[in-house]
Amino acid sequence: MFGIGMPEMILILIVALIVIGPQKLPELAKALGRGVAEFRKATREFRESLDIDVVEDGYDVLRNNVKEDIAEAIRKPRKAENGKK
């Protein structure tokens, strides 16, 4: 997780115990866990909104291509009827 191994995690825990104290450490861990969970939720929602935008943009491009193809297919027979190629 975050490129932190077990020895580093133990060192961080020991420093946190010394600086914060054993009484407030559980409260801090709970708040940190909530913060991380909210951050993950926000990043997931952001990623999903980007995915939706990309899909919608893809449909717009596809729709425009189909419209252009239909318009071209309509123009070709009209040119042939008028004696143009």
Check: CB of residue 16 under 8 Å from CB of residue 28: yes
The rounded distance, in Å, linking the Cα atoms of 17 and 13 is 6
CB 27 within 8 A of CB 35: no
Predicted TM-score of the model (pTM): 0.47
21-62 pLDDT, tens per residue?
888 888 988 998 999 999 999 999 988 887 776 666 667 777
Residue 59: per-residue pLDDT: 74
Question: Which residues, 6 or more positions from 28, have their beta carbon under 8 angstroms from its beta carbon?
Answer: 16, 20
